[in-house]
């Protein structure tokens, strides 16, 4: 059973969005081409309440990019993004959603962020995705989407910890690179954790 997990391909992560990922829109046609080659397609959405603690706007005298302590945990502050029900939180235009069998929404708890699609950033709460994927007989898990050095990274690391044979589709993801080198460091971390790298042409020739 080969599964594709499409991470956070949402308007706010496109180059014109609130938290722009450079070339983020380039992943859409690649992901559409990939989908028919999988037994199961799952997607996630970053889905924050407007008063979410990861928004700089919700803390006086702060700017996006700054780090604060949120409920005892280090938290990078971001621009307001992916607010529940807004256009920014919707899937990117052109993303083929018909084959998506389950959608996991995350980041709904005000006092904790959730980069990984499996757990929040302190592993307090399980989204259930790991159990779902195991129940569905997942053998190989392929990740794609946005952002490579944030939500894709943490999802891939958790996937390895949960024992999945994990792949990153390298041309179906893009990173923010908030601090220069973040994307390279993310790749290194994934490599060290046993994530394998593939190109879409190896899956969908
Ligand atoms: C993400 C920053 C904040 C992501 C979500 O989807 O990579 N990045 N929230
Ligand atoms: Zn977010």
* pLDDT tens sequence for the chain (205 residues): 999 999 999 999 999 999 999 999 999 999 999 999 999 999 999 999 999 999 999 999 999 999 999 999 999 999 999 999 999 999 999 999 999 999 999 999 999 999 999 999 999 999 999 999 999 999 999 999 999 999 999 999 999 999 999 999 999 999 999 999 999 999 999 999 999 999 999 999 8
The pLDDT of residue 156: 98
Q: How confident is the model at residue 189, as a pLDDT?
A: 98
How far, in Å, CA of 158 to CA of 115, rounded? 10
Q: Is 103 helix (H, G, I), strand (E, B) or coil?
A: strand
Residue nearest to atom 6 of ligand 1 (CA): 151
Geometric angle at alpha carbon 3, from 33 and 119, rounded to 5° = 120
Instruction: List the catalytic residue out of 46, 120, 149, 151.
Output: 151
Nearest atom in ligand 1 to 8's CA: 6
Query: Does 151 participate in catalysis according to the annotation?
Result: yes
Which pTM was predicted?
0.98
Q: Starting at the edge strand that comes first in sequence, how are the strands of the sheet with 2-7 ordered?
A: 100-106, 40-46, 2-7, 140-146, 165-174, 196-198
Say if ligand 1 is within 6 A of residue 46 CB.
yes
Is 19:176 a contact under the CB 8 Å cutoff? yes
Given 25, 106, 144, 158, the catalytic residue:
106
Backbone angles phi and psi of 140, in degrees to 5: -110, 130
Where b means 16+ CB within 10 Å and e means fewer, 76-98 reads: bbbbbbbbeebebbebbeebbee
Structure tokens at 46: 């970053």
Ligand 1 binding pocket includes 151 (Cβ within 6 Å): yes
Distance CA 186, CA 153 (A): 6
């Amino acid at each position: 059973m080969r599964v594709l997990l499409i991470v956070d391909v949402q308007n706010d992560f496109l180059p014109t969005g609130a938290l722009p990922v450079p070339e983020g829109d380039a992943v859409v046609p690649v992901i559409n081409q990939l989908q028919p080659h999988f037994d199961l397609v799952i997607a996630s959405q970053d889905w924050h309440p407007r008063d979410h603690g990861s928004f700089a706007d919700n803390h006086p005298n702060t700017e996006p990019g700054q780090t604060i302590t949120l409920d005892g945990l280090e938290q990078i502050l971001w621009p307001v993004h992916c607010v529940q029900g807004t256009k920014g939180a919707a899937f990117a235009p052109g993303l083929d959603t018909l084959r998506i069998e389950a959608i996991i929404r995350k980041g709904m708890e005000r006092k904790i962020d959730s980069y990984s699609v499996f757990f929040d950033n302190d592993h307090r709460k399980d989204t259930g995705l790991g159990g779902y994927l195991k129940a569905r007989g997942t053998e190989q898990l392929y990740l794609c989407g946005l952002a490579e050095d944030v939500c894709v990274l943490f999802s891939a690391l958790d996937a390895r910890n949960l024992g999945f044979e994990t792949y990153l589709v390298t041309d179906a993801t893009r990173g923010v690179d908030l601090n220069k080198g973040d994307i390279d460091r993310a790749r290194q971390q994934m490599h060290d954790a046993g994530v394998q790298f593939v190109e879409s042409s190896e899956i969908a020739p």
